């Protein structure tokens, strides 16, 4: 069975499907992250230094086996030094402080994306699988004279 051409082809097809699935998921995650970034930036009502919108960014942290994309807000652009220490005012905008009411911009937008994210993942999965099946079907139809099992000699 180790030398069976159809088994080798099946293994190659499944490896190709895995790689194509990871590539398509990564592309889908990047597209959704960019859209989410834009919507988060639009949800920002005001900004103390004017850099809060600029601090929203997309970071691709994908590995060979796991596609993953982060949407981040805050950081060096929104960090201020005060007498009490270093303070990232993006947190004050999102959650509020003793002196400031919260003006959430990040999590409400992200929560609104949960269903769209799931739908996008489902569609990407189904589309990639359909493309793989179509490719395999075309190849199978073109190989009508290909090896289909043990030969029997009829007399």
pLDDT tens-place string over residues 16-70: 888 888 889 999 999 999 999 999 998 888 766 678 899 999 999 988 878 889 9
Instruction: Report the pLDDT value the prediction gives residue 13, as an integer from 0 to 100.
Output: 85
Residue 71 has pLDDT above 90, yes or no: yes
Strand, coil or helix: what is 58?
Answer: strand
For the chain, what is the mean pLDDT?
Answer: 83
Q: How far apart are CA 107 and CA 74, in angstroms?
A: 13
Beta carbons within 10 angstroms of residue 120's beta carbon: 17
**27: which residues sit within 8 A by CB, 6+ positions away?**
none
pTM of the model: 0.73
Instruction: Report the pLDDT value the prediction gives residue 143, as an integer from 0 to 100.
Output: 60
Instruction: Report the pLDDT value the prediction gives residue 3, as an integer from 0 to 100.
Output: 64
Residue 147 has pLDDT above 60, yes or no: no
> pLDDT higher for 147 or 89?
89
Report CA dihedral (21, 26, 27, 30) to the nearest 10 degrees. 160
> pLDDT higher for 151 or 30?
30
């Amino acid at each position: 069975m180790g030398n069976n051409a159809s088994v080798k082809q099946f293994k190659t097809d499944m490896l190709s499907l895995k790689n194509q699935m990871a590539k398509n998921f990564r592309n889908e995650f990047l597209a959704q992250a960019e859209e989410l970034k834009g919507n988060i930036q639009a949800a920002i009502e005001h900004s103390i230094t004017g850099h809060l919108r600029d601090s929203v960014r997309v970071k691709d942290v994908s590995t060979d086996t796991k596609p993953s994309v982060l949407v981040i807000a805050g950081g060096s652009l929104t960090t201020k030094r005060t007498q009490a220490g270093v303070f990232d005012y993006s947190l004050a905008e999102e959650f509020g402080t003793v002196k400031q009411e919260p003006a959430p911009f990040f999590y409400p937008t992200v929560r609104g994306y949960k269903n769209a994210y799931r739908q996008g993942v489902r569609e990407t999965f189904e589309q990639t699988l359909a493309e793989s099946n179509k490719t395999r079907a075309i190849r199978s139809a073109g190989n009508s004279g290909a090896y289909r099992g043990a030969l029997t000699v009829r007399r």
